[in-house]
Amino acid sequence: MTLDQTRLRIAIQKSGRLSKECQRMLKGCGVKLNLREQRLIAHAENMPIDLLLVRDDDIPGLVMDGVVDLGVVGENVLEETLMERQAQGEAADYSVLKRLDFGGCRLSLAVSQDADYSGVNSLEGKRIATSYPWLLKRYMDSQGVKFKSVMLNGSVEVAPRAGVADAICDLVSTGATLEANGLVETDVIFRSKAVLIQSATPLAASKQAVIDRLLPRIQGLQQARE
Ligand code: ATP
Ligand code: ZN
């Protein structure tokens, strides 16, 4: 099956913290979705829109490579991908159409509750576990603190207890996960929300017309929730 080039392609997270809110937003915009399990593509029934259901980490790249027209992703993942791609000399253009009112979280440093911590300088030369090495490095460089990055794509919060790292840099919303793992949040290094982003590839007028219909509806939904 090939993608119909005339339909607006939007990448959203298949399952995770952003997927329910994304689907609610699209539904609120009047997009009728036929979301069957285990499908990469879902076609809207009443508008020329195709959804790509993928891992959130893949969304910025799909937009920056022009594989999809729009994407919904956390600014944390967007900014991390941007820095990584710029460092590797890969295409990294996109524009933010709208900052959304969900997916709020912060990327923070945290240390063990019984660690001797008196500011970020305490982490000089230490090992920090994270899934966000570029955002972490940018912050530590800005503070003039040298450290060793331990890359983990999951279970970051258990790294100190496992003796794999001295501190972590991970996403936090309530702080309950940190507390459950005997950790305390010390420094917020990045604040994030979900954003709607658009590819830098020029769009056909028919696709632009669909975006022009969606955006005011998203705006209306957000105002109604304020
Ligand atoms: P995937 O399988 O798609 O890779 P994931 O496990 O990487 O999923 P989720 O945990 O579903 O990702 O988080 C997706 C996004 O939700 C995060 O990148 C972030 O922008 C946002 N988010 C909001 N609150 C939190 C939180 N407390 N912890 C983690 N992410 C959060
Ligand atoms: Zn992910």
Please report which confidence band the pLDDT of residue 4 belongs to, taking 50, 70 and 90 as the band edges. confident
Q: 20 and 79 share a domain?
A: yes
User: Can you give the pTM of this predicted structure?
Assistant: 0.96
Domain total of the chain: 2
Ligand 2 center to residue 150 CA distance, Å? 17
Pocket test for ligand 1, best of 22, 56, 72, 185 (most atoms within 8 A of CB): 56
The Cα–Cα gap between 130 and 196 comes to 25
What is the span of the domain harbouring residue 154? 105-192
Give the containing element (helix H, strand E) for 1: none
Give yes or no: residues 79 and 95 share one domain.
yes
Q: Which of 13, 17, 100 has most ligand 1 atoms within 8 Å of its beta carbon, as the pocket-test mutant?
A: 17
**Ligand 1 atom closest to 193 (CA):** 20
> 124-151 burial, b if ≥16 CB within 10 A, otherwise e?
eebbbbbbbbbbbbbbbeebebebebbe
10 C-beta closer than 6 A to ligand 1: no
Residue 49 in domain = yes
Name the one residue in this structure whose structure tokens are 């929300």.
193
Whether 43 shows a pLDDT value over 80: the answer reads yes
- 79 and 114 co-located in one domain: no
- Residue 3 confidence class, pLDDT cut points 50, 70, 90: low
Tens of pLDDT, residue by residue over 176-200, are 999 999 999 999 999 999 999 999 9
pLDDT at 2: 58
Q: How far apart are CA 204 and CA 181, in angstroms?
A: 50
- Is the predicted pLDDT of residue 38 greater than 80, yes or no? no
Classify burial at 48, counting beta carbons within 10 Å of its beta carbon; exposed 0-12, middle 13-18, buried 19 or more.
middle
Q: Is 171 in the pocket of ligand 1 (CB under 6 A)?
A: yes
pLDDT of 35 reads: 80
The secondary element (H helix, E strand) that includes residue 87 is helix 75-87
The reply to whether 177 and 201 lie within a common domain is: no
Q: Which residue, by CA, sits nearest to atom 12 of ligand 1?
A: 16
Based on the fold, state whether residues 219 and 177 are members of the same structural domain.
no
Do the domain assignments include residue 155?
A: yes
> 130 and 58 in one domain?
no
Ligand number, closest to the Cα atom of 16? 1
Give the residue, by CA position, lying nearest to ligand 1 atom 14. Answer: 17
What is the reported pLDDT for 36?
76
- What CATH number does residue 221 fall under? 3.40.190.10
